[in-house]
Amino acid sequence: MIILPAMDLMGNACVRLYQGDFGAQTRYPLAPADALAGFEKAGANWAHVVDLDGARAGAPLQHDFIAALARGSALSLQVAGGVRKRAHVRSLLAAGVSRVVVGSLALREPETIRDWLGEFGPDRLTLAFDVRIEKDKPFVAVHGWRELSALRLDEAIAPFAGTGLRNVLITDISRDGALNGPNFDLIRDVSARYPDLDIQASGGVASLDDIKALRSAGAAAAIVGKALYENRLSLEEAIHAGA
């Protein structure tokens, strides 16, 4: 299982939100380039970078800055936030980003994303589905997690059957930034239902036991954020636990 240390950016600075709430943010003094260098030193091969300003605005606001980070780092970067157009994907990939994350657009315009998967290839795109559990079913949230759609997770994934889709990032919103453990049942269910997908688990990782349990649940990758910044978890040990 691959460990992707997360770096969320606002105003070119590293921050963490609590359950997507921009009013509940923690800002960290570590410079983004230094954070990536630290990830690399710990043995990471990937990092998950989010343009939070872009995510809130619905348009890329820090993509030039992120592109500069990609050019200056040996890490493979998976980048999310503000991706709405083909040109956004193309420019990030051209700048050296390894994989681009697409979120709510996959719900609104699945045919567009099917085209992108054909054009850019399944290795270059990750579809992100942020869910809330309602009546024991995962429903996909939209608009920065502020609204719950009528689509269950399986209904959101269904339009991409036969496209070669490989990378899917699943976040249980209730676990994000809470450090109370991931939703193992959700990851186990999705991994078993879609064995051809590489499921990335996000939200709640706080310990090495969480990493090991996600690996056992079938996750191909785990996003780890707040636990690293608050020194609850060693990235080097997390990578070893996921191997």
Query: pLDDT by residue (tens digit) across 100-116?
Result: 999 989 999 999 999 99
Residue located via tokens 């996959």: 106
CB distance 49 to 72 below 8 Å:
no
Helix (H) / strand (E) element for 26: namely: strand 21-27
- pLDDT of the residue at 145: 56
What local confidence, expressed as pLDDT, does residue 19 receive?
57
Closest C-alpha to 116, from 128, 129, 106, 131: 106
In the structure, what pLDDT confidence band is assigned to residue 22 with cuts at 50, 70 and 90?
low
Torsion of CA 200, 93, 32, 141, to 10 degrees: -40
The CATH number of residue 66's host domain is 3.20.20.70
Average pLDDT for 208-232: 95
Q: How far apart are CA 12 and CA 232, in angstroms?
A: 24
Q: Are 225 and 6 in contact (CB under 8 A)?
A: yes
d(CA 208, CA 4): 14
pLDDT (0 to 100) of residue 20: 59
Question: What average pLDDT does the segment 79-89 reach?
Answer: 93
Better pLDDT: 21 or 152: 152
Catalytic residues: 8, 130
Note the pLDDT of residue 23: 60
Residue 221, pLDDT score: 98
Poorest-pLDDT segment among 47-56, 139-148, 210-219:
139-148
Q: Decide which of 29 and 196 is more confident.
A: 196
Share of the chain above pLDDT 70, in %: 94
For the chain, the average pLDDT equals 91
Residue 42 — pLDDT band, cuts 50, 70, 90?
Answer: very high
Check pLDDT > 80 for residue 53: yes
Q: Mean pLDDT across the stretch 138-142?
A: 90
The number of distinct structural domains making up the chain is 1
Spell out the residues 6+ positions from residue 162 whose beta carbon is closer than 8 angstroms to its own.
none
pLDDT band at residue 16 under the 50/70/90 scheme: confident
Share of the chain above pLDDT 90, in %: 73
Q: What is the pLDDT of residues 151-201, one digit of tens each?
A: 999 999 999 999 999 999 999 988 877 678 899 999 999 999 999 999 999
Give the range of the structural domain holding residue 81, as residue numbers without chain letter. 2-242
Q: If pLDDT is split at 50, 70 and 90, which confidence band does 11 have?
A: confident
Q: Which of 214, 211, 204 is nearest to 182 (CA)?
A: 204
Here the tokens at position 180 are 């109370």
